[in-house]
Amino acid sequence: MDFKKSKKIQTEHQVGLNTGLELVSICVDRNRYRTSKDAHGGIVRCRSLFFPLLVLALSTSPSFARLPSASISGKVTGASQSAIPSTSRPDLHTQVEPDPAKAVNRDFSEVELLRFTALEPIDIHTHIYKSDPLLFEMLRKLHLHTLDIVDVSDNGNAERKDLTKENNDVLEVARESSGHVSVCTTFDPYLISEPGFTEAAIHQLNESFARGAIAVKVWKNVGMEVKDSKGNYILPDNSLLEPIYRDIESHHKTLVTHVGDPNTAWAAPNPSAPDFSYFKNNPQWYMYNIKDAPPKQKILDARDHLLEMNSDLRVVGAHLGSMEADIDQVAQHFDRYPNFTVDLAGRMPYLMLLPREKAIAFITKYQDRLLYGTDNTIYPETEVGTWVSRAEVSYANDWRFLATDQTVEYGGRRLKGLALPNSVVKKIYHGNAVKWIPGIADQ
Ligand SMILES: [Zn+2]
> Do residues 364 and 358 touch, judged by C-beta distance below 8 A?
no
Spacing, Cα 167 to ligand 1 middle (Å): 15
**Cβ proximity of 162 and 198 under 8 Å:** no
Q: Report the separation in Å between the CA atom of 48 and the middle of ligand 1, taken as the mean of its atom positions.
A: 37
Centre of ligand 1 from the C-alpha of residue 421, in Å: 28
Round to whole Å and give the CA distance between 357 and 365: 12
Residue 412: the pLDDT is 77
**Residue ranges of domains in the chain, CATH in brackets:** 17-111 (no CATH), 119-436 (3.20.20.140)
Residue 177 CA to residue 196 CA, distance in Å, equals: 35
**Alpha carbon of 375 to ligand 1 centroid (Å):** 5
What's the 125 CA to ligand 1 centre distance in angstroms?
Answer: 6
Q: How far apart are CA 97 and CA 111, in angstroms?
A: 11
Percent of the chain with pLDDT over 90: 72
> Which of 33-37, 116-120, 232-236 is predicted with the least confidence, judged by mean pLDDT?
33-37
Distance (Å) from CA 292 to ligand 1 centroid: 25
Report how far ligand 1's centroid is from the alpha carbon of 256 (Å): 10
Which range (54-68, 134-148, 325-339) has the least confidence?
54-68
Ordered alpha helix ranges (H), 26-162: 47-60, 62-65, 69-81, 92-96, 110-118, 133-142
The helix/strand/coil state of 309 is: helix
pLDDT band at 441 (very low <50, low <70, confident <90, very high): confident
Q: Residue 432: which residues within 8 A CB-CB, separation 6 or more?
A: 341, 368, 369, 370, 371
- Answer yes or no: is pLDDT of 254 > 60: yes
CA of 265 to the centre of ligand 1 (A): 16
Instruction: Give the span between the Cα atoms of 258 and 170, in whole angstroms.
Output: 19
Amino acid identity, position 263? N
Name the band, by pLDDT with cuts 50, 70 and 90, for residue 442. Answer: confident
Higher per-residue confidence, 360 vs 58: 360
CA of 434 relative to ligand 1 center, distance in Å? 19
pLDDT-derived band of residue 60, with 50, 70 and 90 as boundaries?
very low
* Nearest partner of 189 among 123, 253, 139, 257, judged by Cα: 257
What average pLDDT does this structure show over 335-362?
A: 96
For the segment 102-127, the average pLDDT, to the nearest whole number, is 93
Mean pLDDT for 229-257 is 97
- State the pLDDT confidence band at 248, using cuts at 50, 70 and 90: very high
The H or E element spanning position 407 is strand 407-410
In 3D, which of 155, 180, 148 has the Cα closest to residue 256?
148
Q: Do 106 and 355 form a contact (C-beta atoms < 8 A)?
A: no
Confidence at residue 179, expressed as pLDDT on a 0 to 100 scale: 96
Q: For residue 149, report the distance from its CA to the centre of ligand 1, in Å.
A: 7
Confidence of residue 73 (pLDDT cuts 50, 70, 90): very low
Q: Is 88's pLDDT higher than 60?
A: no
CA–CA gap between residue 118 and residue 122 (Å, rounded) = 12
What is the distance between the terminal CA atoms of the chain, rounded to a whole angstrom?
46
Distance CA 279, CA 266 (A): 10
**213, 437 Cβ separation under 8 angstroms:** no
Whether 164 has a pLDDT exceeding 70, the answer reads: yes
Lowest mean pLDDT among 41-50, 163-172, 233-242, 334-343: 41-50
**pLDDT of 100:** 52
Looking at the predicted structure, is the pLDDT value of residue 136 above 90?
Answer: yes
Ligand 1 centre to CA of 262 (Å) is: 13
Residue 424 CA to ligand 1 center (angstroms) comes to 24
Centre of ligand 1 to C-alpha 161, Å, is 15
pLDDT at 134 over 90: yes
How far does the centroid of ligand 1 lie from the alpha carbon of residue 259, in Å? 11
Q: Which residue has the higher pLDDT, 132 or 275?
A: 132
Average pLDDT, the chain: 80
Q: What is the CA radius of gyration of the chain?
A: 23
- Residue type at position 107: D
Check whether 69 has a pLDDT greater than 60.
no
Average pLDDT over residues 363-386: 97
Distance 354 CA to ligand 1 centre (A): 23
Q: Give me the pLDDT at residue 409, please.
A: 86
Is the pLDDT at 160 greater than 80? The verdict is yes
Can you give the pLDDT at residue 102? 67
Mean pLDDT, residues 52-66: 29
Give the model's pLDDT for residue 156. 85
Q: Which range has the worst mean pLDDT, 6-15, 220-229, 326-335?
A: 6-15
Q: What digits encode the pLDDT tens for the residues 266-321? A: 999 999 888 899 999 999 999 999 989 999 999 999 999 999 999 999 999 999 99
Distance (Å, rounded) from C-alpha 217 to C-alpha 121? 21
% of residues, the chain, pLDDT over 70 = 77
pLDDT over 70 (residue 327): yes
Model pLDDT, residue 5: 34
| pLDDT exceeds 90 at position 13 | no
Contact 114, 120 (CB under 8 A): no
At 94, the pLDDT band (50, 70, 90 cuts) reads very low
Selected residue with higher pLDDT from 25 and 47: 47
pLDDT at 218: 98
Buried b (16+ CB within 10 A) or exposed e, 111-130: bbbbbbbbbbbbbbbbbbbb
CA 442 – ligand 1 centroid, Å: 23
pLDDT at 67 over 60: no
Measured between alpha carbons, how far is 210 from 225 in angstroms, rounded to an integer? 30
Do the beta carbons of residue 201 and residue 187 sit within 8 Å? yes
Average the pLDDT over 91-105 and give the result.
47
